[in-house]
Structure 1
């Protein structure tokens, strides 16, 4: 699966109000927010484990790419949502592949 963007993201620790377990597996689905606008996405993990409290560079694929990509700009701040904010970071690359 070809990514739409690459993000640098830090998952909150449990003590900070984040998840109780690391994110791991082939992919992870959640809304990605830029400001107050959310976009359904998949983090492309390829078997990696994203430990809480650490920074990670992650490829992202949007469910509705045509709606999300016009809002994506390098350097834009973002957060990931799972009933609450679980991670924050920024876009480090917008992939132009179609």
Structure 2
């Protein structure tokens, strides 16, 4: 296994991140997972039931990882670049909402 590429900024990382998400089904699964994460956060704010916060990693990563292992056939960037990958998830989510990226 080769050493992970070093990125000096998120702007440098994001094109790599998008390249890791070429499969439309993978992007859709990311979008579903991110949407459900936001829904759970709203639910926690409304209900006050903090226990639901435990579901966030399962929901967020679960959908994304199914997309990567089942459709994209690659290893999620989270394993090599956790912070930039988390940022990439939300920028890609915004880019899908605004139509910059097709999903």
- So what's the TM-score if we normalise by structure 1? 0.29
Greater strand proportion: 1
- The structure whose Rg is larger is 2
Greater helix proportion: 2
- So what's the TM-score if we normalise by structure 2? 0.28
